[in-house]
Amino acid sequence: MVFLKILLILDVIGLVLAGLYLLGMMGKRRPKNGFGRLGDFDYAHRGLHALPAGIPENSLRAFRLAANNGYGAELDVHLSRDGRLVIMHDENLKRTTGVNANISAVTTQVLSQLALEGTREKVPYLEEVLPLFNGKAPLLIEIKTEKNNHVELTRKVVNLLKQYPELDYMIESFDPRVLRWLRKHHPNIIRGQLSQNFLKDPGPGMKKPMAFVLSNLLCNFLTMPNFVAYRLEDKDDLAPGLCKKVWGVQTFYWVVRDQETANSLMEEDSMIIFEGFAAK
């Protein structure tokens, strides 16, 4: 009898933990009309770039090509030392400009002297990109936070977006604090939680408890994302599947690099962020 009672208690504990796990990844169910116009586009990862043709990632030329060819675009936004909204993927400038410095440590004066990946393209700012898409294709804007700048950076991005009423856009971030702030201050902005399997591939300095929480989308109950954007290589992980099947949250996958994969994802009603080919 004692053994059976122990098993019963363990079963109850297991059910409670499973329930809490599912509640943790709760997000906003996709509306019946999807995301409207936002759902009609594929999103070019860092613009429609092709370095062999002299078109670097996250460059004005790459974004112009995406908009002119009927694609949405995904882009990354950092905050410079003097408060400018800088478009670049990496926190550090080394890979794309050759200068070993963090964006948050440099000013516009420094950035204006840099070229992207050996081309004539300059480091762009968000206010230069938005007019290219205004009234055309939508943007998927990733907020790249550093330390505790999430409020300042997100607020600046939102305030700039207000100047383009004909622009369709979504905002996403790996940092749940960004989504939490948007939920509180701008709940009508479509927001998405970026993630991947951080247990398998942790970020710099990331501890295992945080890796577990972020990999399993366990901040969703606080942020209530409209979509989850998960790394394609981790597509079969438990968290994104449960988030979609249990809560009905829209899924994105990144980065898609061939049409066959794109077709497969679209058949299951997922949206794509692509590069290296012309998605159809």
Would you say residue 73 lies in a domain?
yes
pLDDT band at 16 (very low <50, low <70, confident <90, very high): very low
In a domain, 13, yes or no: no
Does a structural domain hold residue 10? Answer: no
Residue 5: per-residue pLDDT: 55
Range of the domain at 223: 39-274
Over residues 84-111, the mean pLDDT reads 97
Q: pLDDT by residue (tens digit) across 199-258?
A: 999 988 899 999 999 999 999 999 999 999 999 999 999 999 999 999 999 999 999 999
Average pLDDT score over residue span 96-124: 96
Report the domain count for the chain.
Answer: 1
Residue 22 located in a structural domain: no
Higher-confidence residue of 218 and 36: namely 218
For the chain, give the percent of residues with pLDDT over 70: 92
The reported pLDDT for the residue numbered 21 is 75
- At 64, is the secondary structure helix, strand, or coil? helix
pLDDT at residue 13 greater than cutoff 60: no
pLDDT(155) > 80: yes
Section 10-24 average pLDDT: 58
Q: Which residues pair with 125 in a beta bridge?
A: 86
When pLDDT is cut at 50, 70 and 90, the band that residue 24 belongs to is: confident
Mean pLDDT in residue range 182-202: 97
pLDDT at 26: 85
Dist. CA 104–CA 145, nearest whole Å: 10
Calculate mean pLDDT across residues 9-19: 51
Asked if the model's pLDDT at residue 11 lies above 70, the reply is no
Token look-up 């599912």 returns: 22
Examine the pLDDT at 198 and tell me if it is beyond 70.
Answer: yes
Q: In the predicted model, is pLDDT for residue 150 greater than 60?
A: yes
Task: Specify if 165 maps to a domain.
Answer: yes
pLDDT at 18: 52
Measured between alpha carbons, how far is 25 from 247 in angstroms, rounded to an integer? Answer: 8
How wide is the angle at C-alpha 57 spanned by C-alphas 51 and 63, nearest 5°?
Answer: 110
Direct distance between the N- and C-terminal alpha carbons of the chain, in angstroms, rounded to an integer = 63
The pLDDT tens digits of the residues spanning 52-95 come to 999 999 999 999 999 999 999 999 999 999 999 999 999 999 99
Residue indicated by tokens 């905002």: 171
CATH number at residue 202: 3.20.20.190
Domain membership of residue 61 (yes or no) is yes
**pLDDT at residue number 6:** 60
In a domain, 9, yes or no: no
> Structure pTM?
0.93
Judge whether residue 3 has pLDDT over 70.
no
Q: Which of 6-10, 142-146, 168-172 has the lowest mean pLDDT?
A: 6-10
Give the residue from 214, 209, 207 showing the smallest Cα distance to 229.
214
> What CA–CA distance (Å, rounded) separates 190 from 172?
8
What proportion of the chain, given as a percentage, has pLDDT over 90? 85
The answer as to whether 32 is a domain residue is no
